[in-house]
């Protein structure tokens, strides 16, 4: 009896379980991209999909026409259907009726774009961009909607993602992609239709992780990508994992196109990017099953560690635009910062992307959208005549004569060249190249350029040659020699370098340079340029060292405390190398001390007559960079007994300005001394009023000048 009762109870429980489970399974479920506040692509056949009980019939009705569509879930409990959308408008509702009823509200019909890439696409208006606070305050536009996919990875393609549609407001806009927002804002203003923006971005990521894994593993060169990309704990590196988790969940959602801002993390395999990037675009188009417009940003000039990396990546992007139909490239060489990989003018980037879409996707004829693009060249009497597309109204230069052009003869050594605009062409010449074979423009990591068309859109960097790029850098080491009262210069390069040529008068070393055979002396300010030769070819990278002299320059320096290796400024001699830092702490010239004091001693080699001493420090409290609590200067003749000659304490107020601060001391009359000791006390941690209170505080210093 007990056994029978137990069996009945078990059967009843199981029956209840299956009944409840069936009821749960019968519920209509939708992916997160189909939700309240969404934007559906106008005048289109859009796909709707989701899950329900197997064989369950679902009725779908949109309030824009009240037409009802029928669909039945398949054996895998999945259903999908394509419905027609009207011209832009809303708000509408979308009703799904089956075992349960789901009603989506506040739906708009308009234009939908995917916004993807790495940090420059991910950066929000809340990240310190130009005009960020003003843009946030003005972001009250209910006809713009955001779908922001969080950072997510997956080994396998996913059907859904943890996100939701939100109405544009100051609160939602401040967290969304700034480039994406400004792109959408410009579209909305010009098209006067609702705009839906899908953000899928992750800082530091390479194109490989946004590309299906089978595309990467199916190509022998692509599959070697992890050998050239560095390791990091801050972003994924496995091919396909972001495509699977952040792109695949929305490929069923009808979109107008995609904008893309990425490439900095692929500079390590920049030449391969010429094939990789088109392969990624093709994979997305295959997934969405239409040749979607794909507009992207060419990376800005930046001080990358290896010469030419940035130029080669920009070249790959340029070649992609030329080779892949229905793509467009925004050039931002004029609004970047060679010391900051994150240009702060995001509104300009978004506006230029929008102009591509307005002109090429939406057919607006009165919008200029592309700067000059190299088309061809010819040689005439020792000069190179360069022609451009998108220059039919003529060309212009900004901030003086044209800069950034180089010429080469058959020896493949490039020299700086003069360039003059003649209508829609540029005439390029060089005293060092009598019979030019090739021309380059802006072809370096940080080469300054200033060629524009009449619409004031900048020209892309380019080269007319396809010669293999050779990078052989020369290291310049300078050491003061008191016995000669001069500076000994040593040039070194890789072992396989055949020869080094150099100049000290600023001329390019390729033609008139001296062959380096042994260290040489300099005793005055100069510019040392050096060039390595490898297997008969000159390196494409010229090393340049500007030497600015004062009594402290390159003198022996003893650092009692340690600087942070991530902000070395160039090593132990960074503070006395004659090169001064800018207001940008990432320019590679500031030496940083994280929670640590500065304590150093300079040996002039003999008693030197000095009249003034100065130390430069940087203040940028928003970046946790504070001025020292106290700075002291001390002098000594024996290196043991020091006399303090200067003391500067400082009170730290709450300030947002960025400032280069100079600690200066001047004798009434010159005084002789051999040693100079400089100390600066770090405040330790950020103060209680700081938004990162308790974090270790930075001090950053640059040049010490002794006259």
Q: What is the pLDDT of residues 588-604, one digit of tens each?
A: 889 999 999 999 999 99
Alpha-carbon span 468 to 598, nearest angstrom = 45
Q: 3-class SS at 442?
A: coil
- Could you give phi then psi for residue 125, rounded to 5 degrees? -65, -15
Burial of 606 (C-beta count, 10 Å sphere; 0-12/13-18/19+): exposed
Question: What percentage of the chain has pLDDT greater than the value 70?
Answer: 95
Outline which parts of the chain fall under CATH 2.60.120.260.
Answer: 557-706
CB 375 within 8 A of CB 387: yes
Of the candidate CATH numbers 2.40.37, 2.30.30, 2.60.40, 1.20.1150, the domain formed by 475-547 belongs to: 2.60.40
pLDDT score at 5: 46
Q: Which of 134, 143, 138 is nearest to 184 (CA)?
A: 143
Burial 241-277 (b: 16+ CB within 10 A, else e): bbbbbbbbbbbbbbbbbbbbbbbbbbbbbbebbbbbb
233 vs 528: which has the higher pLDDT: 528
- Phi (first) and psi of residue 495, to 5 degrees: -60, -30
User: pLDDT, tens digit, for every residue of 345-396?
Assistant: 999 999 999 999 999 999 999 999 999 999 999 999 999 999 999 999 999 9
pLDDT, tens digit, 9 for 90 and up, residues 477-511: 998 888 888 899 999 999 999 999 999 998 999 88
Q: Are strands 499-503 and 526-534 parallel, antiparallel or unpaired?
A: antiparallel
Residue 76 has what DSSP assignment?
A: T
pLDDT tier for residue 340 given thresholds of 50, 70 and 90: confident
Rounded CA gap, 125 and 134, in Å?
A: 9
Residues of the chain with CATH 3.40.50.1110: 110-361
Name residues whose C-beta falls within 8 Å of residue 112's C-beta, 6 or more positions apart in sequence. Answer: 39, 40, 41, 195, 196, 197, 198, 253, 254, 255, 256
Q: Identify which of 271, 165, 262 has the alpha carbon closest to the alpha carbon of residue 210.
A: 262
Q: Which helix or strand (DSSP H or E) is residue 112 part of?
A: strand 101-117
- Can you give the pLDDT at residue 26? 57
Range 479-487 contact pairs with CB under 8 angstroms and sequence separation of 24 or more: 479/554, 480/553, 480/554, 480/555, 480/556, 480/605, 481/521, 482/605, 482/606, 484/521, 485/523, 486/521, 486/522, 486/523, 487/521, 487/522, 487/523, 487/547, 487/553, 487/554
pLDDT digits (tens, 9 = 90+) for 253-284: 999 999 999 999 999 999 999 999 999 999 99
Whether CATH 2.60.120.260 fits 557-706: yes
Task: Out of 30-44, 330-344, 517-531, 595-609, pick the least confident.
Answer: 330-344
CATH number belonging to domain 39-106: 2.60.40.10
Average pLDDT score, the chain: 92
- Quick one: CATH architecture of 110-361? 3-Layer(aba) Sandwich (3.40)
Q: What pLDDT sits at residue 60?
A: 98
Residue 59 predicted with pLDDT over 50: yes
**Residue 311 pLDDT more than 50?**
yes
């Amino acid at each position: 009896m007990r056994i029978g009762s137990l069996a009945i109870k078990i059967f009843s429980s199981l029956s209840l379980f299956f009944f409840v489970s069936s009821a749960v399974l019968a519920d209509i479920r939708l992916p997160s991209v189909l939700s309240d506040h969404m934007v559906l692509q106008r005048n289109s056949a859009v796909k709707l999909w989701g899950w329900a009980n197997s064989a369950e019939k679902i009725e779908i009705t949109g309030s824009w026409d009240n037409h009802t569509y029928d669909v039945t879930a398949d054996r895998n409990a999945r259903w999908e259907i394509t419905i027609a959308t009207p011209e832009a408008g809303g708000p509408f509702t979308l009703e799904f009726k089956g075992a349960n009823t789901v009603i989506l509200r506040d739906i708009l019909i308009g234009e939908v774009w995917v916004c993807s890439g790495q940090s420059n696409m991910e950066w929000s208006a809340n990240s310190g961009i130009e005009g960020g606070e003003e843009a946030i305050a003005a972001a009250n536009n209910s006809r713009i909607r955001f779908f922001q996919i969080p950072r997510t990875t997956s080994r396998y393609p996913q059907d859904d993602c943890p996100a939701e549609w939100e109405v544009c407001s100051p609160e939602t806009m401040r967290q969304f992609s700034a480039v994406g927002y400004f792109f959408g804002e410009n579209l909305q203003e010009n098209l006067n239709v609702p705009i839906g923006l899908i953000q899928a971005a992750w800082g530091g990521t390479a194109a490989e992780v946004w590309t299906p894994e089978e595309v990467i593993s199916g190509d022998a060169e692509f599959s070697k990508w992890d050998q050239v990309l560095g390791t990091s704990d801050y972003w994924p590196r496995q091919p396909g994992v972001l495509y699977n988790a952040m792109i695949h969940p929305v490929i069923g959602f009808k979109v107008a196109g995609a904008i893309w801002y990425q490439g900095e993390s692929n500079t390590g395999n920049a030449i391969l990017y010429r094939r990789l990037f088109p392969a990624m675009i093709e994979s997305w188009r295959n997934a969405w099953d239409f040749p979607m417009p794909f507009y992207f940003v060419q990376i800005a000039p930046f001080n990358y560690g290896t010469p030419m990396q940035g130029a080669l990546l920009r070249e790959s992007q340029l070649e992609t635009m030329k080779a892949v139909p229905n793509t467009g490239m925004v050039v931002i060489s004029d609004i970047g910062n060679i010391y900051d990989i994150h240009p702060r003018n995001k509104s300009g980037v978004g506006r230029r992307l929008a102009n591509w879409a307005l002109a090429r996707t939406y057919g607006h004829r009165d919008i200029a959208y592309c700067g000059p693009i190299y088309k061809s060249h010819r040689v005439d009497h020792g000069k190179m005549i360069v022609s451009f597309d998108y220059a039919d109204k003529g060309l212009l230069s900004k901030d003086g004569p044209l800069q950034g052009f180089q010429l080469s003869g058959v020896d493949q050594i490039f020299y700086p060249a003069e360039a003059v605009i003649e209508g829609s062409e540029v005439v390029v010449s060089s005293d060092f190249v009598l019979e030019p074979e090739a021309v380059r423009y802006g072809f370096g990591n940080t080469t300054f350029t200033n060629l524009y068309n009449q619409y004031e859109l900048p020209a892309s960097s380019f080269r007319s040659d396809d010669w293999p790029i050779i990078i052989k850098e020369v290291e310049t080491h300078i050491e003061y020699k008191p016995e000669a009262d001069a500076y000994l210069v040593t040039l070194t390069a890789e072992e396989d370098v055949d020869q080094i040529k150099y100049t000290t008068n600023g001329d390019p070393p390729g033609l008139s340079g001296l062959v380096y055979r042994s260290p040489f002396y300099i005793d005055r300010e100069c510019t040392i340029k050096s060039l390595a030769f490898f297997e008969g070819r000159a390196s494409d990278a010229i090393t340049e060292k500007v030497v600015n002299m004062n009594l402290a320059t390159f003198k022996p320096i003893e650092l009692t405390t340690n600087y942070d290796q991530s902000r070395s400024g160039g090593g132990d001699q960074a503070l006395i190398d004659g090169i001064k830092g800018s207001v940008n702490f990432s320019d590679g010239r500031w030496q940083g001390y994280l929670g640590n004091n500065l304590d150093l001693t300079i040996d002039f080699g003999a008693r030197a007559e000095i009249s003034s001493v100065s130390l430069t420090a940087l203040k940028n409290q928003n970046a946790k960079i504070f001025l020292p609590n106290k700075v002291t200067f001390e002098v000594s003749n024996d290196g043991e007994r020091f006399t303090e000659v200067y003391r500067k304490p400082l009170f730290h107020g709450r300030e947002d300005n960025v400032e280069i601060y100079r600690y200066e001391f001047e004798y009434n009359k010159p005084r002789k001394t051999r040693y100079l000791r400089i100390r600066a006390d770090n405040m330790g941690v950020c103060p209680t009023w700081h938004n990162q209170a308790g974090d270790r505080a930075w001090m950053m210093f640059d040049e010490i000048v002794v006259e």
